[in-house]
């Protein structure tokens, strides 16, 4: 399975790119952008919506998690595991940046001005 990592800006547009190689004979790579610019990733609700978007993107790339044949089930499991591993560090970095930005904003708001 071939994974391609894409860079993204944490402070500019909050978007992820999920890319996973599919198929054995033809080494195709499919990718889907996941927009998070409208979410407050410092909140539980924002993180939950992002996880839903990641799940939806994984299903779009890897196929149905409810496959009927054993081969399809194994293929989905392998693809899904690789896709989630590919995007996990990006999601964690975006959440950390959002939480840090919230903390910094709170610090600035409580600092007395002269």
Report strand pairing: 15-22 vs 28-35: antiparallel
The pLDDT, as a whole number, for residue 109 is 52
The pLDDT, as a whole number, for residue 7 is 33
The pLDDT, as a whole number, for residue 4 is 35
Q: What is the mean pLDDT for each group of 10 consecutive residues in the chain (114 residues)?
A: 34 54 58 89 94 92 84 88 89 92 74 48
Compute the distance between CA of residue 51 and CA of residue 34 in angstroms, rounded to an integer: 10
The pLDDT, as a whole number, for residue 64 is 83
What is the domain partition of the chain in residue ranges?
15-110
3 with 86: CB under 8 angstroms? yes
Instruction: Give me the torsion for CA of 30, 93, 99, 110, rounded to 10°.
Output: -130
- Whether this prediction's pTM lies above 0.85 is answered by no
Run of H or E including 71: helix 70-110
């Amino acid at each position: 399975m071939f994974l391609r990592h894409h860079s993204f800006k944490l402070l500019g547009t909050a978007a992820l790119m999920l890319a996973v190689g599919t198929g054995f004979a033809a080494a195709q790579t499919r990718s889907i952008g996941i927009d998070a610019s409208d979410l407050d990733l410092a909140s539980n609700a924002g993180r939950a919506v992002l996880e839903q978007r990641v799940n939806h993107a994984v299903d779009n790339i890897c196929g149905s998690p409810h496959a009927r044949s054993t081969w399809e089930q194994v293929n989905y499991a392998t693809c899904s595991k690789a896709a989630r591993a590919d995007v996990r560090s990006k999601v964690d970095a975006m959440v950390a940046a959002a939480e840090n930005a919230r903390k910094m904003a709170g610090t600035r708001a409580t600092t007395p001005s002269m």
